[in-house]
Amino acid sequence: MLKQEEVDAEEESLRKAVRELSEEQRAEFYRQAGKTVKDPDTYAALNWFFITGLHHFYLGRWQWGLMDLGALLVAVGCFLAGLIWPGVALLVIVYSWELWQLFRSQIIVQDRNNRLYRELLRRY
The pTM of this model reads 0.85
Q: Residue 111 — very low, low, confident or very high, per pLDDT cuts 50/70/90?
A: very high
The Cα–Cα gap between 103 and 93 comes to 16
What pLDDT score does 109 carry? 97
Q: Which of 91, 49, 97 is nearest to 72 (CA)?
A: 91
Question: Which residues have a Cβ under 8 Å from the Cβ of 46 and sit 6 or more positions away?
Answer: 54, 55, 58
The model's pLDDT over 83-104, given as tens digits with 9 standing for 90+, comes to: 999 999 999 998 898 899 899 9
Q: Residue 116 — very low, low, confident or very high, per pLDDT cuts 50/70/90?
A: very high
The Cα–Cα gap between 93 and 91 comes to 5
Cα→Cα distances 106→7, 58, 100, 112, Å: 11, 14, 12, 10
The model's pLDDT over 12-66, given as tens digits with 9 standing for 90+, comes to: 999 999 999 999 999 999 999 999 999 999 999 999 877 788 999 999 999 999 9
